[in-house]
Structure 1
């Protein structure tokens, strides 16, 4: 092997190691995440919609932020929909992965204002119109644990999904799926499966109780 080839191989390996360890400390930065609709189109639609609210409402969040979205730094977050019915029909760690898909009518956006504060904006498309579904302030503080875990796993790629009101994150470490809840608590695939099943069971039980109470109320009204 010539000395020139050795030098070339050394430079290539050095660049690979440099890229491997060059992680950003910003949540979502560097993640190439596809959306079904252009982010700017979504922002334009939201600004147009919420610019019609009364001036008094613009003194408060989130209305104040929604009309100024185009002034902020906005990026798409890797949000996926979770098919609860598909998972619950035959629960398994593999079914968690099978149940994740890119949403057609929902977008999750990470915003950073000029003062440095951040927010997570979840938008939903209803009747062809984009609307705000929810907004979480200081998002980078909420998930301050996430960059460190991604750094340890040597990846920038992750998926975020929700089950009812619970938020979960999925990334890979040494080729194996790792799940975390919003606090950063880790779950193995088996434990994540168990947690999700328990959450669905709790919701089913809650809905049954609500149904019973409504039935009893309707009966009492008839009497």
Structure 2
């Protein structure tokens, strides 16, 4: 049984990346060899990563009472890492908002990005990835066209996820589906989205082959 963690990072019911998430979930439901769970970063309502978490570590170690935000930060830290640790494959379904990822997804990254957990430094001070046994899939939607050489450098959602999950954590990317241009081309939006969702179905079907 392969454990698949789907990180859902769009709380808009009509969002294109929400449709990508729903399409993927519906397709993988047909495979009994996959144990699929969703980590909805908006539903988790995680406090922003910061000093409150470090204060929580100190207080918990000293047996002191934690404030509500400290309890929330510690719970978010533990839950996000437990979910990531248990996963064999991680699927990120997220939009490009304001050239980057949603803040709620950033919180998930912040809680799982840590020396000794997702990476370490060797004796030479070089970064060593600690999640090379895991795989990941990118499902992303963006209204404009960012796949051109001129625009790609300003795109900081897919580029960022690949840099962190693939580059730092060391996971192997096995698929990437990007739906783009539906906002800048309203006349062709329906077809653009439909074609993209077919690619999402194919990614879900391919997952079964990769993990078999």
Q: Give TM class, smaller chain.
A: under 0.3
Bigger relative contact order (CA 8 A; separation at least 6):
2
Q: TM-score, normalised by structure 1?
A: 0.25
